[in-house]
């Protein structure tokens, strides 16, 4: 009887605490890899995944924009087709690389991740059909370019609907990832839209969108700058340098906008997990970003024949920036969840202690079968 009541008390304690914050029970299974390795895989694979997500989202929006302009100027229609050709490749890479961070976060933060998913269950589950529809529309749009020359508005809306879906899916992910960091908010969340309006979700989403334009601008600059890209055969009126300057300009404007959205993203973070260490990491990233922006500005102000001379230094510097930002995000996540992880460890020890106690009781008094 004493064992029954102790287990009941343990169950009730695991569900809540005096402060109303859930006290989470850990899953008593070892991690498949050392924790440091899982953290490394999570940060690096996520940064690679989000790179191709940025290219997919940014590419679909720019295709939509260029194809609309192509209704009056056929050169923009050709430009839209060239951008669209890159989207499906980037989409495939985003999906394949996305498996690694998803598995890593599942292993490291199982209880937090699945709890957040269950609170936004309907829309979380809808990600699979939404992404499937978006991908089918992208392929249909890509391979029906010539078929709908006389129904151009219909063709534009094929990509437009796909772009809207691709804009919405990252918002679902960001909402869930944000929600998992704050178990104290779980009791007040009443579904996806309730979670979406928690602090930091929308600023972080705007930060993501702006990054998509910056990354896509730099990617398209590289893509159309290549020697084997026969620009003159694809365009009649546009010059290569004119288009390249458009992409550099897009990347620079988007990067400058991040100087507003970045601090907004930072200052809307709940402050209980903000540390000086996190601030130093983010400031280092900002320093590298400013250097990259300065080089982009030099490129745009420089002579035509030297356009692209700083491209690879810019790409390397921005990669370092992204690495700092990704590391900072993990530091914040680890700090925010540290108190709850501590409670999980205490709970795990308590559970183990009770299991040992039960085993000793069985040894001492025997099982029911022994007495029959």
pLDDT digits (tens, 9 = 90+) for 87-131: 999 999 999 999 999 999 999 998 899 889 888 888 899 999 999
> How do residues 181-238 score in pLDDT, each as one tens digit?
988 888 888 889 999 998 889 999 999 999 999 999 999 999 999 999 999 999 989 9
In terms of Cα–Cα distance, which of 17, 36, 114 is closest to 340?
A: 17
Q: Which of 219-223, 265-269, 332-336 has the highest average model confidence (pLDDT)?
A: 219-223
Categorise residue 200: left if φ over 0, alpha if ψ from -120 to 50, beta otherwise: left
Residue 228: its pLDDT value, please? 92
In terms of Cα–Cα distance, which of 308, 265, 314 is closest to 293?
A: 314
Judged by DSSP in three states, 152 sits in helix
> How do residues 43-95 score in pLDDT, each as one tens digit?
999 999 999 999 999 999 999 999 999 999 999 999 999 999 999 999 999 99
Does 291 score more than 80 pLDDT?
yes
∠ Cα 51 94 262 (to 5°): 30
Instruction: Read off the pLDDT of each residue in 297-313 and give the average, rounded to a whole number.
Output: 92
Q: Which of 6-10, 190-194, 228-232, 247-251 has the highest average model confidence (pLDDT)?
A: 247-251
Diameter over CA atoms, the chain:
95
Which pLDDT band, with edges at 50, 70 and 90, does 342 fall under? low
Does 347 score more than 80 pLDDT?
no
The DSSP call for residue 34 is -
Contact (Cβ atoms closer than 8 angstroms) between residue 80 and residue 138: no
In terms of Cα–Cα distance, which of 164, 201, 161, 166 is closest to 181?
A: 201
Does 138 score more than 80 pLDDT?
yes
Residue 26: its pLDDT value, please? 67
Two structure tokens written together for 52: 């191709």
Which pLDDT band, with edges at 50, 70 and 90, does 6 fall under? very low
Which pLDDT band, with edges at 50, 70 and 90, does 364 fall under? low
Phi, psi of 149 (to 5 degrees): -60, -35
Residue 255: its pLDDT value, please? 97
Residue 72, burial from CB neighbour count under 10 angstroms (0-12, 13-18, 19+): exposed
Residue 208: its pLDDT value, please? 97
Q: Sign of torsion, CA 105 107 112 116?
A: positive
% residues pLDDT > 70 (the chain) = 84
Distances (CA, A) of 163 to 60, 220, 282: 5, 18, 30
Domain ranges of the chain: 30-198
What is the pLDDT of the chain when averaged over all its residues?
Answer: 86
Residue 3: its pLDDT value, please? 42
Q: Which of the residue ranges 23-32, 83-92, 222-231, 257-266 would you say has the lowest mean pLDDT?
A: 23-32
Does 273 score more than 80 pLDDT?
yes
Does 13 score more than 80 pLDDT?
no
Residue 309: alpha-carbon gap to chain centroid? 31
Does 340 score more than 90 pLDDT?
no
Residue 216: its pLDDT value, please? 98
How many CA atoms lie less than 13 Å away from 257 in the CB half-sphere? 16
99-108 and 74-97 are packed helices; what angle lies between their axes, rounded to 10 degrees?
A: 40
């Amino acid at each position: 009887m004493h064992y029954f009541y102790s287990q009941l008390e343990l169950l009730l304690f695991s569900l809540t605490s005096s402060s109303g914050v859930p006290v989470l029970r850990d899953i008593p299974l070892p991690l498949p890899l050392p924790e440091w390795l899982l953290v490394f895989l999570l940060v690096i694979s996520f940064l690679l995944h989000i790179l191709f997500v940025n290219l997919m989202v940014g590419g679909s929006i720019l295709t939509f924009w260029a194809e609309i302009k192509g209704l009056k100027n056929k050169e923009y229609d050709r430009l839209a087709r060239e951008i669209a050709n890159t989207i499906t490749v980037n989409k495939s890479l985003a999906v394949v690389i996305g498996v690694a961070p998803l598995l890593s976060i599942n292993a490291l933060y199982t209880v937090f991740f699945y709890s957040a998913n269950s609170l936004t269950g309907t829309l979380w589950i809808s990600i699979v059909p939404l992404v499937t529809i978006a991908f089918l529309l992208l392929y249909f749009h890509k391979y029906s370019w010539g078929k709908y020359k006389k129904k151009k508005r219909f063709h534009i809306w094929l990509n437009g609907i796909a772009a809207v879906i691709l804009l919405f899916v990252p918002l679902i992910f960001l909402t869930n990832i944000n929600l998992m960091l704050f178990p104290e908010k779980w009791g007040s969340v009443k579904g996806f839209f309730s979670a979406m309006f928690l602090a930091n979700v929308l600023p972080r989403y705007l930060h993501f969108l702006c990054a998509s334009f910056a990354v896509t601008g730099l990617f398209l600059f590289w893509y159309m700058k290549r020697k084997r890209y026969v620009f003159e055969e694809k365009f009649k009126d546009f010059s290569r340098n004119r288009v390249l300057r458009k992409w550099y300009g897009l990347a620079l404007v988007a990067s400058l906008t991040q100087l507003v959205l970045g601090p907004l993203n930072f200052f809307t973070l709940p402050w209980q997990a903000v540390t000086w260490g996190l601030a130093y990491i983010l400031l280092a990233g900002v320093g590298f970003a400013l250097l990259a922006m300065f080089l982009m500005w030099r490129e745009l102000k420089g002579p035509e024949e030297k356009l692209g001379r700083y491209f690879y230094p810019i790409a390397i510097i921005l990669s370092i920036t992204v690495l700092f930002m990704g590391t900072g995000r993990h530091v914040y996540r680890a700090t925010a969840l540290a108190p709850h992880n501590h409670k999980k460890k205490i709970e795990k020890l308590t559970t183990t202690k009770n299991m040992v106690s039960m085993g000793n009781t069985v040894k001492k008094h025997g099982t029911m079968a022994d007495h029959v």
